[in-house]
Structure 1
Amino acid sequence: MTNASWLYDITILLYSLSVLGYFIDFLQNNRRANQFAFWLLSIVWVLQTAFLVMQIIEIGGFPILTPFEGLFFYAWVIVSLSLLINWFFRVDFFVFFANVLGFSIMAINLFATREQASSLLTEQLMSELSIIHITMAFLSYGAFSLSFIFSVMYLIVYQMLKGKKWSKRLRRFGDLSQLEKLSYLCSVLGVPLLLLSLILGIVWALLKVDQFSLLDSKVIISFFVLIAYSTYLYQKVARDMEGKSLAMWNIAAFLIVLVNVFFSGTFSDFHFWYV
């Protein structure tokens, strides 16, 4: 267990207060609560980054080989990308929805083992190919997560407009075209990252894994994720699909991502370090 466990506990406490502040703003359109929540979230990102650096120093490598490390990095990616998008595009309520997801991942991670990977396992996996493969996979999952959130926001706005529920809250969601565009851009970022991750992972497995098979559960589901999001992009670009149908497709594709992150490793023959 890392010596920085206390930092993780403080981080998740501040994270919960940040999400609470965003929730109050969502219910009451309270700008003061929004600003308080934003600054708390900024502190959370700093603490997450410090925790990540401390893990790197402690194990002498990039900490991404265990369930705890992997999910923590996934949550860090979501916070980082949400702050970045909020800086450039300023979509109200986006950070709230994004960090409900990020906080949920960190809360789930409390139940993951915090033990470090064995020295033998670390020696087997700690190669440039494997580390870049895993890192790029989680970066793609982070991009898909934000794409999913924009699609959820799109459907909420769509239903509010359909029900003629005009309010200040509706204006703060942003317009449908902006939400659809941002969802699309996040998927455009995620697909090549996942493709490169799969290519590097297969090359690494062919070199290092004796019984590697493309029929492994995690490999198969990873390709399903790639196909689902590639089809989403195809429908958007080539067939000019838009609106509710495209948002629903995106949400369904993200459910496959969740299966891949949380469940597929359990049935994998060689992703044995991440179960």
Structure 2
Amino acid sequence: MLDSLIPRLQELTVILYAICVLLYFIDFLHQNRKANRVAFWLLLFVWILQSFSLYYYMVDTGRFPILTIFEGLYFYVWVLITLSLIINRVMKVDFIVFFTNIIGFMILVIHTFTPDQIGSTVRAEQLVSELLLIHITTAILSYGAFSLSFVSSILYLIQYNLLKQKKWGKRLWRIADLQKLEQFSYILNMIGVPILMIGIILGVRWAYIKLPIVPWYDPKVIGSIIVVMIYCIYIYFRIKKGMTGKSLALLNIAAFLILLINFFLIGNISSFHIWL
């Protein structure tokens, strides 16, 4: 019975998530605090539904469900929602929550309406390994940190343009100040980079154990290394060169877009890296 119920719950989750994002959008446009509060509690309910689905899938498969891109996307959305709920309660930065959940909603729609994943699930069963699970989990957690950092940079540019054009208003004051947004973005990248590096190291170790030859020239391997290098360049410019402001925000946005290309496009043409 639960097997037939889970797909319906996922569809309900998409609908509720869409309403949640719509309410956050209303709050964004009209500073409607009631819409913001309802959106928060609705988002919390979406998180509960997602957590239940993840738990059920984990019990059903006997493993943590992240070994395929289909599963990884769902876990990625769960991470984004979890982080946005924490930010909503701890930091009270509503617009970061709004833009983060736009990303989360788009990813959830892609996940929900992806064609049948039976083939990839069967393949995933052949890849079960604690080392691989940790590798993928750390990678997705780093993606969550980079996503929030990206949102902070987007808000930085919005705030920067509002200040430059001298458009004073409630929206200006509801976005965190430029220094706070830049610092938040930097801290998230400082967290994300070592987590991603750990994930890559674990992935290389897994490849040495499980594969006859480590495919160093695989597009996904090269793409992941490039992503780490770009974020390291961001940190270098921030610390050693003292880069701040709009240029740093644009560099961070470019880094995240390259990460997305590596995740969605390059991952699909990889010869062996079929999951994330």
The TM-score normalised by the length of structure 2 is: 0.95
Tell me, in whole angstroms, the C-alpha distance in 2 between the residues paired with 1:45 and 1:85.
14
Q: Which residue of 1 aligns with 2:159?
A: 157
Pairs aligned (count): 274
Which residue type is aligned with residue 66 of structure 2?
I
> Which amino acid in structure 2 is aligned with residue 55 of structure 1?
Y
Select 1:39's aligned residue among 38, 41, 45.
41
- How far the C-alpha of 1:94 sits from its partner, in A, is 1.3
* Residues 150-183 of structure 1: CA deviation (Å, up to 9, x unaligned): 0000000000000000001100001001111111
Deviation, 1:123, is 4.3
Change (3 A) 1:215 1:160: same
Per the TM alignment, residue 132 of structure 1 is displaced from its structure 2 partner at its CA by 0.4
Choose from 230, 246, 249 the match for 1:247: 249
1:59 equivalent to 2:61? Answer: yes
* Alpha-carbon distance in 2 for matches of 1:123, 1:59: 9
Q: What is the CA deviation profile of residues 237-268 of structure 1, one whole-angstrom value per residue up to 9, with x for unaligned ones?
A: 11111100000000000001111211112211
Q: For residues 87-236 of structure 1, what are the structure 2 equivalents within 5 Å? A: 87-116=89-118, 121-236=123-238
Alpha-carbon separation, structure 2, partners of 1:77 and 1:183: 17
Q: Given the superposition, is the C-alpha separation of residues 72 and 35 from structure 1 closer, same or farther in structure 2, using an over 3 Å criterion?
A: same
Instruction: Kindly provide the amino acid, as one letter, of the partner of residue 171 in structure 2.
Output: R
Deviations 1:91-142 (A, max 9, x none): 1211111101100110111332343456763343111110000111011011
Cα shift at 1:210 = 2.3
Counterparts of 2:78 and 2:251 in 1: how far apart (Å)?
A: 26
Partners in 2 of 1:85 and 1:49 — Cα distance?
18
Report what 1:16 is aligned to: 18
RMSD between superposed Cα atoms in Å: 1.6
Q: Which range moves more in the overlay, 265-274 or 47-56?
A: 265-274
SS of match in other structure, 1:179: helix
- Ranges in structure 2 where 5+ consecutive residues have no aligned partner: none
Question: Contact 2:153 / 2:249 at 8 angstroms: preserved in 1?
Answer: yes
Shift of 1:273: 4.5
Tell whether the 8 Å contact from 1:65 to 1:117 is kept in structure 2 after alignment: no
Kept in 2: contact 1:18–1:37 (CA 8 A): yes
2:66 counterpart SS class: coil
**Is 1:267 the counterpart of 2:269 in the alignment?**
yes
TM-superposed deviation, 1:212: 2.5
1:27 to 9, 23, 29: 29
Equivalent of 2:81, from 65, 79, 82? Answer: 79
Offset at residue 234 of structure 1 (A): 1.1
Q: Sort the Cα spacing of 1:2 and 1:67 in 2 relative to 1 into closer, same or farther, 3 A.
A: farther
- Secondary structure of the corresponding residue to residue 38 of structure 1: helix
Cα separation, partners in 2 of 1:2 and 1:195, compared to 1, 3 Å: farther
Give the letter aligned to residue 127 of structure 1. S
Percent of paired sites with the same residue: 51
Amino acid at match of 1:186: L
Pair 1:180–1:228, CA change in 2 (3 A): same
TM-score by length of 1: 0.95
Q: Structure 1: give runs of 5+ residues left out of the alignment.
A: none
Counterpart position of 1:69: 71
CA distance in 2, matches of 1:112, 1:54: 20
- Seen in structure 2, the aligned counterparts of structure 1 residues 215 and 2 have a Cα distance that, compared at 3 Å, is farther
Q: Secondary structure of the equivalent of 2:126?
A: helix
